[in-house]
Amino acid sequence: MSFLKLLIFVICLLLIIFVGIDNIWFSLLFSFCILIVFHVSIGAFYLQSPPILQTPNVILVEEEQDERQATNVVQPDISIICDKKKLTERGCVGAPEMIIEVVSEYNPSHDYVRKLNLYNQFKVKEYWIVNPNNQTILIYRLKDNEDYLPPEAYTFNDKVKVGIFEDLIIDFA
């Protein structure tokens, strides 16, 4: 199965190269999506209850709060939502299991500070901050559903395990 994942990833990268897409942000997001979609589809085949990959608005609500009164609405670059009950017409109500943000060169503090604190507050299990400019990935994971552990730092030369899936490793090299 890992050879097949690698083959699909390589095909996607070749498509990006041959199509001439030179935007590294788009390339990273596209590659992430393909890997995760493939992982989810294999999970659906074997488990018959796949996680849902979606990039809707994420409406972060306090416990027992009505979603229409929520003031914390974000649109992550990538969000992974495994609970179908969280999806409504407005988007994902509640915290996704995982969020990936690609750092904006115009406002990096938005991802490194504001969203980090927000996702920690609302208990997003895993938060990745991908910085294409310095080719780093910071990964924050919840400890015992309390607060994030200190971040794990990786580069684009590393293999990174996705914590919410048992057997998914992304090779950035």
The secondary structure of 25-56 as a DSSP string is HHHHHHHHHHHHHHHHHHHHHHHSS--EEE--
Q: What is the rounded distance in angstroms from the CA atom of residue 97 to the CA atom of residue 60?
A: 12
Q: What is the rounded distance in angstroms from the CA atom of residue 12 to the CA atom of residue 129?
A: 22
Are 25 and 102 within 8 A, CB to CB?
Answer: yes
On the question of pLDDT at 127 being above 70, the answer is: yes
CATH class of the domain comprising 51-171: alpha beta
Q: Of 35-39, 83-87, 128-132, where does the model show the most confidence?
A: 128-132
Are 113 and 129 within 8 A, CB to CB?
Answer: no
Give the confidence band of 43 by pLDDT, cuts at 50, 70, 90: very low
Q: What is the rounded distance in angstroms from the CA atom of residue 63 to the CA atom of residue 94?
A: 9
Looking at the whole model, is its pTM more than 0.85? no
Residue at 46: amino acid letter: Y
Between CA 53 and CA 105, with CA 33 as vertex, the angle to 5 degrees is 115
Are 30 and 23 within 8 A, CB to CB?
Answer: no
| Beta carbons within 8 Å of 173's beta carbon, 6+ residues apart | 156, 157, 158, 159
Q: What is the rounded distance in angstroms from the CA atom of residue 83 to the CA atom of residue 51?
A: 7
| Of 107, 164, 162, residue with least CA distance to 115 | 107
Q: What is the rounded distance in angstroms from the CA atom of residue 42 to the CA atom of residue 103?
A: 29
Q: What is the pLDDT of residue 113?
A: 92
pLDDT: is 49 or 76 the higher one? 76
Give the confidence band of 86 by pLDDT, cuts at 50, 70, 90: confident
Q: What is the rounded distance in angstroms from the CA atom of residue 142 to the CA atom of residue 119?
A: 10
Give the confidence band of 94 by pLDDT, cuts at 50, 70, 90: confident
Run of H or E including 159: strand 159-161
Q: What is the pLDDT of residue 95?
A: 83
